[in-house]
C-alpha cells in the first residue's frame, strides 16, 4: 500500500490536474464572495461558476500529458478529445439544463402561489458560460505549464 501512495505522490500528471481543479474551486469561492459579499462553502464542491473546474482539470490533464509524453503521443490525443467533450458538456448541455431549471423554478413558484404544486427548487447553477470555460482552460494550461517549467 505504501508503494501505491508513493507512486501517486510522484505522478506529476495526476498532481497537476488535481491542483488545477482545487485552484478553480478556491477561485469559485473567492469570486462568489466578491460578487455576493458572503462566504458560500458550497462553491468549494459545487458545479457551475467562474472558472470551470472541470475544464481546468481536463485541460491541465491534456497539457500535462503533452508536456510529459509529447504532443504527438496517443495519450495526448486521447486527453484532448476527453477535454473537448467535457468543455462542450460544461458550456452546452449543462448550461442549457441550468437555464431550463430557472424556467421550471419560476413556473413552480407561480403555481405554488396558486396552491397547485408543492414547493420544490431545482439546482440552477449547473453549467458554464463560454467565458467560464475559457477561464478554466487557461487556468488548467498554466497550472500544467508551472509543473513542467
Query: Which pLDDT belongs to residue 56?
Result: 97
pLDDT digits (tens, 9 = 90+) for 2-55: 888 888 889 999 999 999 999 999 999 998 888 888 887 777 777 778 899 999
Per-residue pLDDT at 117: 60
Cα three-residue angle 49-64-43, rounded to 5 degrees:
20
Give the separation between CA 43 and CA 49, rounded to whole angstroms. Answer: 8
What span, in angstroms and rounded, lies between the C-alpha atoms of 30 and 39?
Answer: 8
For the cut 80, the answer to whether the pLDDT of residue 65 exceeds it is yes
Amino acid at each position: 500500500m505504501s508503494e501505491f501512495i508513493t507512486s501517486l505522490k510522484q505522478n506529476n500528471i495526476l498532481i497537476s490536474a488535481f491542483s488545477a481543479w482545487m485552484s478553480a474551486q478556491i477561485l469559485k469561492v473567492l469570486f462568489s464572495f466578491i460578487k455576493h459579499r458572503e462566504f458560500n462553502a458550497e462553491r468549494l464542491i459545487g458545479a457551475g461558476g467562474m472558472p470551470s473546474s472541470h475544464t481546468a482539470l481536463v485541460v491541465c490533464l491534456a497539457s500535462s500529458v503533452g508536456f510529459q509524453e509529447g504532443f504527438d503521443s496517443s495519450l495526448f490525443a486521447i486527453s484532448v478529445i476527453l477535454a473537448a467533450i467535457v468543455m462542450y458538456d460544461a458550456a452546452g448541455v449543462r448550461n442549457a439544463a441550468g437555464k431550463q431549471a430557472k424556467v421550471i423554478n419560476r413556473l413552480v413558484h407561480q403555481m405554488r402561489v396558486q396552491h397547485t404544486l408543492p414547493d420544490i427548487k431545482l439546482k440552477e447553477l449547473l453549467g458554464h458560460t463560454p467565458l467560464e470555460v475559457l477561464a478554466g482552460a487557461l487556468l488548467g494550461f498554466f497550472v500544467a505549464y508551472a509543473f513542467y517549467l
